[in-house]
Structure 1
Amino acid sequence: MSLTSPPILQFKSLSLSTPFLRGGASSIVRLPKTFSTATPSPLPPTPTFLPVIRAMKSMQGRVTCSSHDETVTVQVVRLAPHPKYKRRVRMKKKYQAHDPLNKFSVGDVVQLEKIRPISKLKTFLAVLVPSRGGPKAKDSESLEFGLPLESQQPES
C-alpha cells in the first residue's frame, strides 16, 4: 500500500471477526413461545403464619451503664484470634441498647437482639437472660406419677 492512498482504503482488507461486533445470534435473548404477559399465572397460596427468620446471632453481655433514660450500655466480650500471634484474645466492645422499661441495672446479664434503628447508636434491644442456676421445679420426680413418695407421706 502506498502512503498516498486514502486511510479508508487501507482498512478494506480487515474483517470483523467477533460475533459481538457483527451482531451475532448468541447475544439475542429469545423468550419461550408459551410466554404471555396478558394472562398472569396464579400465585401459589401463601401460608398465613410465617416464622421469623433470625439470620443474626444474638449477643450476650453485661450492663456497664444504666444512667440514661431508656438506654443501657452493654459490654460484649468475645474471643478472637490475634492477627499476628494467632492466640485467642478477649475482644470487648460496648453497644448502646434500648431498655424501654428502665428495668436493667449495672451488672445484669442481658441479650442483645437486632431491631430497627432507634437513634444513631441504638439498634439493639436489651432482653433479660434467665440465669443458668435458676430455680427448678420442686419435686418433679414425685409429681411424675401424681403420687407422693414414700418418704414424703405423713407418718400415722
Structure 2
Amino acid sequence: MPVTLSLLQFPLSQLQSLTLNGSSRPSLLRKPTAFSLTPRRTALPPIRAMKSMQGRVVCSTNDKTVSVEVTRLAPHPKYKRRVRKKKKFQAHDPDNQFKVGDYVQLEKSRPISKTKAFIAVPMPPRNVRKTPEAVPEDLGLPLESQKI
C-alpha cells in the first residue's frame, strides 16, 4: 500500500517518467528547499551603480583618450571622518578637444578598449562670474519719487 500512496502524490506526467525498476529522475526525488518556496520580491528596484562622474583632465597626450582624475569624499573606515579619495579613469575623447585642467563629465558606455569604458563630455566652466544683463534705464514708467 505505501507504494500506491506515494504514486498518487505525483502528477500523471511525472508517473510516466518513472522507470520499471522503481528509480526515477533525481529531480523528482529531491526535497523542496526553503529557497524555492520563498516568493521572489520584485517590487524593489535593482540597485544600480553611479553612471556618471565629474573630474579634471590630468593627461591628454594619447590620441582620442584623456586621463581624468575623479575626487570623491568617503568616510574613513576607522575614524568615520570624510576623507578625499582620488582615482584616475581613462575616457574616450573622439575629437581630442580636452586639454589638461579642463573639467569634464564621465558618462558610462560600452567598453571601448581594455581600459576605457567612459566617454568625456564637456561641462560648463566653474566659478565664472556672470555679467549682469543690461537693464534699460528708462522703462517708460515714471518712478514715484519723480511724480509731483
Superposed pair shares fold, TM > 0.5: yes
- Tell me the equivalent position of 1:150: 138
CA-CA distance at 1:56 after TM superposition: 3.9
Q: Which aligned pairs between 1:1-150 and structure 2 lie closer than 5 A? A: 23=9, 56-134=50-128, 136=130, 139=133, 142=135, 148-150=136-138
CA-CA distance at 1:23 after TM superposition: 2.9
Quick one: structure 1 residues 105 and 150, their matched pair in 2 at CA, closer, same or farther if it must change by over 3 Å? same
Q: Deviations over 1:5-42 (max 9, x none)?
A: xxxxxxx9xx69xxx986367xx9xxxxxxxxxxxxxx
Identical aligned residues as a percent: 61
One-letter amino acid of the structure 2 residue matched with residue 96 of structure 1: Q
Quick one: structure 1 residues 77 and 21, their matched pair in 2 at CA, closer, same or farther if it must change by over 3 Å? farther
One-letter amino acid of the structure 2 residue matched with residue 114 of structure 1: K
> Which sections of structure 2, spanning at least 5 residues, go unmatched?
15-47, 140-148
Equivalenced residue count is 101
Alpha-carbon distance between aligned partners in 1 of 2:49 and 2:77, rounded to the nearest angstrom:
27
Alpha-carbon distance between aligned partners in 2 of 1:136 and 1:114, rounded to the nearest angstrom:
31
> Which sections of structure 1, spanning at least 5 residues, go unmatched?
1-11, 29-53, 143-147, 152-156
CA-CA distance at 1:85 after TM superposition: 1.7
Q: Deviations over 1:83-106 (max 9, x none)?
A: 122111111111000001111111
One-letter amino acid of the structure 1 residue matched with residue 138 of structure 2: E
Normalised by the size of structure 1, how large is the TM-score? 0.54
More helix by share: 2
Quick one: structure 1 residues 136 and 21, their matched pair in 2 at CA, closer, same or farther if it must change by over 3 Å? farther
| SS in structure 2 of the partner of residue 107 of structure 1 | coil
